[in-house]
Structure 1
Amino acid sequence: MEEVTSLIHPENYWVLWAILIGWAAVAIVLEQKYSWASKLSGAIIALIGAMLLSNLGVIPLESPVYDTVWSYVVPLAIPLLLFQSNIVKVWQESKRVLIIFLISTIGTVAGTITAFFLFKDIIPQVNLIAAMLSGSYTGGGVNFAAMATRFDVAEGTVSSTVVADNLLMALYFLVLISIPAMNFFKNKFSTPHIDELEKNSDSGNQAASYWERKEISLTDIASAIGTAFVIVAVSFSLAEFFSNIIPENSNIFLSILRGIIGDDYLMLTTLTLFLVAIFPKYFEKISGSQEFGTFLIYIFFVVIGIPASIPLILQNAPLILVFAAIIVFVNMLISFGFGRLFKFNLEEIILASNANIGGPTTAAAMAISRGWTKLVGPILIIGTLGYIIGNYIGTTLGLWFTSLM
């Protein structure tokens, strides 16, 4: 990354936290107070505001504060948002989401192959860039890092690709979250989750209607936050334990097993749903968990937009941005094309494509922001599985492309 040239220093933690949390709060207030903001969605307001602040040089592109959001804020949000989840409904929805997710993954593979042959003789180390992006656009940043290490990619190439990846992910997030408001898509696809929200909405502002005031006590706050911390701690400890005892470079069965029970987010989601199923009365009594979790996710929305540096892209990686855009476009084309052919819901298609390109956390965040609460658990579970297959896809394509260079 470039030298720090922002108005606020990366280590000015209090000011950066104030901006992240303050802007998340502003986005929520605007969404619930004004109809135009409700239609736009608080998530887009949060993300665009962060992009403007970083691109205008007010806040830095990198800071330990942002890392803390990824490492602590997001994991805490996940169990809080799953406290009211019914495991039977989650399983029923997961089967459908799995199929469209795999179709979307085919889109990533097809897009990567298309982009590679278009830029094979134009972009240096395009075979390695393809490996990193195909892994990332199947699972997430974990796969990107794994492919960069696996193929020993030069630091300059990694940095340029990361910048392109960040900007494109933010822009695609804006596209996907805007689609539900477009009549073209609503007329072409079934939208049961959107229809349910509109049916249950008593006012023109769906966000304000959905997040109406609730009773909450100090006991609720203590139970929600305390339980979430314990679940995250136990889940991550278990995932680390299994990850350490199962060899990393072993046979396919052990590698898949390690990827499943050794993954932080998959273990976190699974354990939370298991506990909710075993102790339903305890979790049903906790009021406010959805509100806490959603506010934490809005902080995450702000962080997503920060690394999307347009000047850095124009300076270092314009062709890589085009390369990545082709992958995303083909993914979207196949996801929506086959999604319509096989009669998948618009919400399922959007979240599946999001889980591929941005990872399970961004997909879950989008589901939360739109009020599609029944799909939060399924997309987290299915999206996390992308971490497993992402490494195989990235490695396979990387080796094939390298043989063609």
Structure 2
Amino acid sequence: MNTLIQPDDTWLLWAFLAGWAAISIYLEQRYQWAAKISGAVIALLGALVLANLHIIPTEAPAYDAVWSYVVPLAIPLLLFQTNLRKIWVESERLLVLFLISSIGTVIGVYLSFIGLKNAVKSLDKIGAIMTGSYIGGGVNFAALSAKFEVPGELVSAAVVADNLMMALYFFVLMVIPAIGFFRNRFQTPYIDELEKRVGDNRETQAASYWKPKEISLKDIAASFGTAFVLVAISFKLADIFDELIPSGENASFVLNVSNGIFGDRYLMLTTITIIVVSVFSRFFERLNGTQEFGTFLIYLFFVVIGVPASIPELIKNAPLLLLFVFIIVLMNMIVTFGVGKLLKFDLEEMILASNANIGGPTTAAAMAIAKGWTRLIVPILLVGTLGYIIGNYIGSMMGYILGE
């Protein structure tokens, strides 16, 4: 089909990808209405509209480059601030609650898959993606989407349903502290501390979180140089293991699982990155800007996945997928608040742990900032980044389980 911008107009397409990603981030940080929608949805919708108006093509080498190069680079960049030892030492209490909340996500994915598997095609793959996303975040959504090769229209519908549900759930989490039912039944030490304070912060949560920071040329060089090296080594090793370890119908269960673990590029990348970050923690802790770099690359991914989306397909699939993610979020909330109550966690901790699962560490930290729970900002950010690590593993596991 003819479009205003042709598939081989590479510079024009990259200008759109990078430009619209930048605009989406600006709108999310500048306007409350955009923050409520989320920059990810704005990025996706812009591409969706232009593709359906035949202004940009639905397939192009520039889009393939995002999947092949941009997404893999984003993963290590977003993991550079993750230190397993530091997470345990500084955030032991929240870590336990976060892992409990992750169990709620897994239960929700399984139950919703059982109920809707006959209504939505490739739901096992969508289930794998949402498991990773609702334990980690956008980086896991991107990695697992690439791994399971989900059809573009389903990925786009899943993103719309995912972000709509996140927006609704975050609203619920924001108002929970003001509801008497929760205040009367849960410990609220951080809320009590701020009871008499009157906030007048007009910034969006995104703007509050993404404050300017000092970034040097050395930070940029070290961040991207290291990311490129890690991706190259990880992908090469995964390819070697994929060839060495037999898989398929004639291979044993153990060999198939081993091939799935060691021969998977994204799991290998996650594993090697975490090992390197843990061993050379002081080097990575001094790097500034890695979260910003990685997040911008993920926004390019959100623009690209909106391109092949067919509006009729979205109308057809998004409502069912919205029900799918609703069940997941509901189970996450029930498990988090139910077990949290039994183990005498604070209400603020439950809210942030559930937020970190469903939205990722940045949204959880942003909520802690917005609520004024300053002592919980760093712990939930550290714990939430653990989701980036385990999200790919648990998501892959669920993909194999649901696909059987």
Shorter-chain-normalised TM-score: which range? 0.7 to 0.9
TM-score by length of 2: 0.72
Question: One-letter code of the match for 1:341?
Answer: G
Contact 1:75 1:232 (8 Å CA) reproduced: yes
Alignment match, 1:358: none
Alignment match, 2:145: 141
Deviation at 1:380, TM superposition (A): 1.9
Say if 1:307 and 1:367 are closer, same or farther in 2 by CA, change over 3 A: farther
Q: In structure 1, which of residues 163, 167, 186 is the aligned counterpart of residue 157 of structure 2?
A: 167
Runs of 4+ in 1 over 6 A off after TM superposition: 364-372
Deviation at 1:81, TM superposition (A): 2.4
Contact 2:7 2:61 (8 Å CA) reproduced: yes
Contact 1:297 1:365 (8 Å CA) reproduced: no
Query: 3-state DSSP class of the match of 1:226?
Result: helix
Question: One-letter code of the match for 2:242?
Answer: S
Say if 1:281 and 1:395 are closer, same or farther in 2 by CA, change over 3 A: closer
Deviation at 1:23, TM superposition (A): 1.1
Contact 1:104 1:334 (8 Å CA) reproduced: yes
Deviation at 1:330, TM superposition (A): 2.6
Deviation at 1:18, TM superposition (A): 0.5
Contact 1:167 1:310 (8 Å CA) reproduced: no
Deviations 1:188-214 (A, max 9, x none): 789x9x99xx99x99532434433333
Question: One-letter code of the match for 2:263?
Answer: G
CA–CA separation in structure 1 for the residues paired with 2:123 and 2:215: 49
Alignment match, 1:280: 281
Q: CA RMSD in A?
A: 3.8
CA–CA separation in structure 2 for the residues paired with 1:8 and 1:306: 13
TM-score by length of 1: 0.72
Say if 1:308 and 1:352 are closer, same or farther in 2 by CA, change over 3 A: farther
CA–CA separation in structure 1 for the residues paired with 2:301 and 2:365: 12
Deviation at 1:374, TM superposition (A): 2.3
Query: 3-state DSSP class of the match of 1:8?
Result: coil
CA–CA separation in structure 2 for the residues paired with 1:7 and 1:255: 46
Say if 1:60 and 1:392 are closer, same or farther in 2 by CA, change over 3 A: same
CA–CA separation in structure 2 for the residues paired with 1:368 and 1:247: 43
Say if 1:239 and 1:23 are closer, same or farther in 2 by CA, change over 3 A: same
Alignment match, 2:202: 204
Question: One-letter code of the match for 2:285?
Answer: E
CA–CA separation in structure 1 for the residues paired with 2:353 and 2:83: 18
Deviations 1:25-69 (A, max 9, x none): 122233344455455543343233333333333323333322221
Question: Is 1:395 matched with 2:386?
Answer: no
Alignment match, 1:107: 108
Q: Which runs of 5+ in 2 are unaligned?
A: 133-143, 341-348, 370-379
CA–CA separation in structure 1 for the residues paired with 2:264 and 2:362: 19
Query: 3-state DSSP class of the match of 1:71?
Result: helix
Deviations 1:216-256 (A, max 9, x none): 33222221211111111112222222222222233333333
Between stretches 294-303 and 45-54, larger displacement belongs to 45-54
Alignment match, 1:20: 17
Deviation at 1:326, TM superposition (A): 4.0
Q: In structure 2, which of residues 382, 386, 391 is the aligned counterpart of residue 378 of structure 1?
A: 386
Query: 3-state DSSP class of the match of 1:342?
Result: helix
Say if 1:19 and 1:31 are closer, same or farther in 2 by CA, change over 3 A: same
Deviation at 1:17, TM superposition (A): 0.8
Alignment match, 1:48: 45
Alignment match, 1:235: 234
Contact 2:38 2:163 (8 Å CA) reproduced: no
Question: Is 1:349 matched with 2:354?
Answer: yes
Query: 3-state DSSP class of the match of 1:345?
Result: helix
The percent identity for this pair of structures is 40
Between stretches 133-142 and 65-74, larger displacement belongs to 133-142
Question: One-letter code of the match for 2:350?
Answer: N
Deviation at 1:384, TM superposition (A): 0.7
Q: Which runs of 5+ in 1 are unaligned?
A: 120-125, 146-157, 355-362, 397-405
Alignment match, 1:399: none
CA–CA separation in structure 2 for the residues paired with 1:186 and 1:55: 42
Contact 1:32 1:208 (8 Å CA) reproduced: yes
Contact 1:76 1:229 (8 Å CA) reproduced: yes
